[in-house]
């Protein structure tokens, strides 16, 4: 009893439970608000995509015409690069390998690389570049392209570029070269790159990353060759897209689409440069991020080479020509001899003249009797002998007499020692006239 009398409940007995319920309710309200915000954000994204698609369809032709105009205005001059005193075309692959590795290390956009190469070539078309400054110009072009295309946190710093160049240049040299490139080009940077035209070409098709990666791989290979420096980006993009679809066995677009209007000569020129790509480019596109298209390309080229070797080693099959009887038609060609192989592997040439009638009849009779004794059907009965020339006919060719004498000697030898039948069941004796 004293226990119940002295017991008093603690005022904080239910405080913890009430606080837990309030926190749960607050978390549920916050989660609901976040869900509503996310739904509203997704709706905004959908509306923005619809408006962007509608605007793109309305302004697509205008945008394409502007890109084509800018493409013509921002092309480098190859002939001006040819007359450079120090830099040569064989130096280009070394600089491009360096720029591609730097571009991959900084994880820049694909358009940044193509824009940097365009800025480099345009600068070399207008200024004399020394060999010791060639890499510096490439770094300045990459820095300008990254500032123009990529996000601010992806743009490489001068310190990073200096480290990649092994401290060959000072910090102020990068700044001076960047300013000099911009001033030389008149601050005109907006070149429509090949990947921009590539994105425009695949708007009407379903998304196929392997085709796009293969086209980018082909276009990066084209950067190394002089023949494609002055090519329009639109032509290169369409030809590379068509070539990638051929390699991957994808259907080509309809003739009404812009991407189907590619130049066949450019496509053939691109296909001829796929056999020895740069090691840096092949390693870059062998990653899963680019669908391993360099390995696919390697397998395709190996298969094509094996098919070409097999076609060269396999002799062509000759179809026998069937001779048709002449029925008096006008305009028919001269009947040709059948190309079928003869059943007699070793025969005798047709003599220049036909033997006498009596000798031929006598030889036919002996060969018929010989076949009957061997149990073989005779093939000589019913064959009328060929008419012999008159005795008064004179032959002016002495070689004809020698061939006739040789033939008669062979006939006499056959009459005395007839040959055994061959494995094809036929006699190797002469069986007819001319």
Query: CA dihedral defined by 196, 70, 92, 273, rounded to 10 degrees?
Result: 60
Q: Which pair of tokens denotes residue 316?
A: 């062509």
What burial class does residue 133 get, using C-beta atoms within 10 Å of its C-beta: 0-12 exposed, 13-18 middle, 19+ buried?
middle
Q: Where along the chain do its domains lie?
A: 78-185, 194-308
φ/ψ of residue 233, rounded to 5: -65, -35
Domains 78-185 and 194-308 share a fold: yes
pLDDT of the residue at 433: 39
- CA-to-CA separations, 360 to 8, 379, 387, 430, in angstroms, rounded: 150, 14, 10, 11
Question: Could you state, in chain order, the average pLDDT of each consecutive group of 10 residues for the chain (434 residues)?
Answer: 54 55 82 88 84 72 84 89 90 92 91 94 91 92 92 89 88 91 90 89 82 92 91 90 89 76 86 88 90 89 82 60 48 40 39 44 51 47 42 45 58 51 40 39
Sign of CA dihedral 47, 49, 54, 58: positive
Class of domain 194-308: mainly alpha
pLDDT attached to residue 390: 44
Fold of 78-185: Cyclin A; domain 1 (1.10.472)
Quote the tokens at residue 193.
């790159």
**SS3 assignment for 109-139:** CHHHHHHHHHHHHHHHHHCCCCHHHHHHHHH
Q: Answer for the pair 426, 344: CB distance below 8 angstroms, yes or no.
A: yes
How many whole angstroms separate alpha carbon 306 and alpha carbon 294?
Answer: 18
């Amino acid at each position: 009893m004293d226990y119940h009398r002295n017991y008093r409940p603690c005022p904080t007995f239910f405080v913890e439970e009430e606080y837990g319920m309030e926190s749960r309710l607050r978390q549920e309200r916050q989660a609901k608000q976040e869900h509503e915000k996310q739904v509203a954000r997704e709706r905004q994204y959908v509306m923005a995509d619809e408006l962007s698609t509608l605007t793109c369809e309305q302004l697509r032709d205008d945008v394409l015409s502007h890109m084509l105009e800018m493409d013509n205005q921002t092309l480098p001059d190859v002939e001006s690069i040819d007359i450079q005193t120090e830099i040569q075309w064989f130096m280009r692959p070394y600089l491009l390998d360096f720029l591609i590795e730097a571009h991959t290390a900084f994880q820049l956009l694909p358009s940044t690389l193509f824009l940097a190469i365009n800025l480099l070539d345009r600068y070399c078309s207008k200024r004399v570049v020394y060999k010791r400054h060639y890499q510096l110009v490439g770094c300045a072009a990459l820095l300008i392209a990254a500032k123009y295309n990529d996000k601010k946190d992806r743009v490489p710093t001068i310190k990073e570029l200096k480290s990649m160049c092994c401290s060959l240049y000072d910090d102020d040299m990068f700044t001076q070269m960047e300013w000099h490139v911009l001033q030389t080009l008149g601050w005109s940077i907006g070149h429509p790159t090949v990947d921009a035209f590539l994105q425009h070409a695949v708007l009407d098709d379903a998304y196929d990353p392997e085709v796009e990666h293969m086209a980018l791989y082909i276009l990066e290979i084209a950067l190394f060759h002089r023949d494609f420096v002055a090519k329009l980006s639109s032509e290169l993009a369409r030809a590379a897209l068509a070539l990638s679809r051929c390699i991957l066995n994808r259907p080509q677009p309809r003739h009404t689409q812009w991407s189907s209007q590619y130049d066949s000569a450019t496509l053939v020129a691109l296909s001829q440069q796929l056999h020895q790509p740069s090691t840096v480019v092949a390693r870059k596109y062998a990653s899963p991020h680019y669908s391993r298209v360099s390995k696919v390309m390697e397998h395709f080229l190996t298969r094509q080479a094996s098919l070409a070797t097999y076609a060269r080693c396999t002799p062509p099959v000759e179809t026998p020509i069937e001779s048709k009887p002449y029925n008096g038609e006008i305009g028919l060609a001269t009947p040709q001899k059948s190309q079928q192989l003869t059943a007699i592997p070793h025969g005798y040439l047709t003599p220049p003249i036909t033997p006498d009638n009596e000798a031929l009849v006598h030889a036919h009779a002996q060969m018929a009797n010989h076949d009957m004794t061997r149990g073989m059907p005779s093939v000589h009965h019913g064959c009328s002998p060929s008419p012999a020339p008159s005795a008064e006919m004179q032959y002016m060719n002495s070689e004809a007499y020698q061939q006739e004498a040789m033939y008669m000697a062979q006939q006499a030898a056959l009459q005395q020692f007839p040959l055994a039948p061959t494995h094809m069941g036929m006699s190797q004796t002469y069986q007819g006239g001319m």
